[in-house]
Structure formats: structure tokens, C-alpha cells
Amino acid sequence: MNDWLHQSIQLLPAGNSYYFLLLAIAFIESLPIFGLLMPGSTLIVLAGFLAFQGKGLYFPIMLLTASGALLGDLLSFWLGSHFGSKLLLTRSFRKHRMLVKQSETFFCSHGGKSVFFARFLGPIRGITPFIAGLSNMPAKLFSIYAVISAALWGIVYPGLGYLGGASWEQAQSMTARFGLLVLLALAITIIHYWLRRSLKSSGEK
């Protein structure tokens, strides 16, 4: 076992405290603004990698990280629907107004699908559920997309670390390839949306 890996395992809490830590990481990463400070996806991939090395079990890690991601999304949505206008005026949100604008544009263009894709798109991960709540997206529809995306995220990211358990470099490479697949799927979705919109506009003329 590499020295850095052995040291990392020794520094981490044991038992239920370790699992709670992973839930908290997934939860915080899903919150608006706070999520920008938490490299949650990388840490959850690392948790899967460490599970292969004997630190924790994959199934509880999968379950708790998916739960943390879902709870964070639901809280972000609730904050947007109840306090969105007021929070946008705070210093933290004004400091990241460009990111908020990008999330608004993304959500307006893709609606529910934006909630799904944002889960895998880093900076807008925590902002998009907030924008969905602010935009009065139906809670039931949001919950469907949030459950699906959180479950997939909770399975895939620790899974990438576990499957790449032979070496951390391999796990990182697999994660990068998965990221490219997500971007490809998003590109196809955007092209489909643009073509459908163009055909609709042509038909109305």
C-alpha cells in the first residue's frame, strides 16, 4: 500500500463516523454557494477507491452518498422556492452572479433535464436546484429528476473509484472518461433541443 494511501486511511474516522462524513460531503456539495467549496465528487471517488483498499464498504457508501446528494438537492430547491429572491441579494450570491446567471440560462433552456445534468456538472451542481425552486418548478417533477440523478451519482462516483482500485491514477482516468460521456450526452440533448426548436419555428412561418 502506498504511504500516502496508508496515511489517508489512518487520518479518517472509523465506523459510522466515516459514513456520516461521506453523507455530509455529498450533502454540502449539493448546496448553493457552499458546494463551490467542497470537491465532493473527487472525494466520493476517493471513498470508492479506499473501499477497494478495505476502508468502508461500497454499498453503505453508495447509499449514503446518494442520500446526501438528494437531501442537499431538496434543501437547495426549498431555499430557492421560499427565500430565493432574498438570498440573491446577499453578498455571497452577488459575488457569484455570473454562475447564477449561467444556471438560470441552463435551467430555462432545459427545464427538468437541467436538474439531472447539473448533478454531474461541478460548479452549477448546487445552484441549479436553487434556481428550479426560485422558478416555481413543480416539486413533484423536481423530486423525480433529483432522485434519479442522486441515485446515479451515488452509484457511479464511488463505483468509479472502486473499479479503479488498482491505482488512483486509473480511478482518475475512469472518472475523466465518464465526465466526457456526460458532456457528450448533454451536447446531444442541446442539439436535439435546438433542432426541435428550429423545426417548430419553421413550421409556424
Q: Contact, 121 vs 149, CB < 8 A?
A: no
Mean pLDDT of the chain: 87
Is there a domain that residue 6 lies in?
no
Of 12, 16, 72, 17, the closest CA to residue 47 belongs to: 12
Range of the domain at 56: 14-204
Is there a domain that residue 7 lies in?
no
Could you tell me the three cell numbers for 140?
413533484
Is there a domain that residue 1 lies in?
no
Q: How far apart are CA 62 and CA 17, in angstroms?
A: 15
Q: Contact, 118 vs 189, CB < 8 A?
A: no
Is there a domain that residue 8 lies in?
no
Is there a domain that residue 37 lies in?
yes
Average pLDDT over residues 32-45: 87
Q: According to the model, what pLDDT value does residue 34 have?
A: 87
For residues 201 and 119, the model is more confident at 119
Cα dist. 69→23, 133, 166 in Å? 8, 16, 27
Q: How many domains does the chain have?
A: 1
Is there a domain that residue 190 lies in?
yes
Is there a domain that residue 4 lies in?
no
For residues 144 and 179, the model is more confident at 144
Is there a domain that residue 54 lies in?
yes
pLDDT tens readout for residues 49-104 = 999 988 899 999 999 999 999 999 999 999 999 998 899 888 888 888 888 888 88
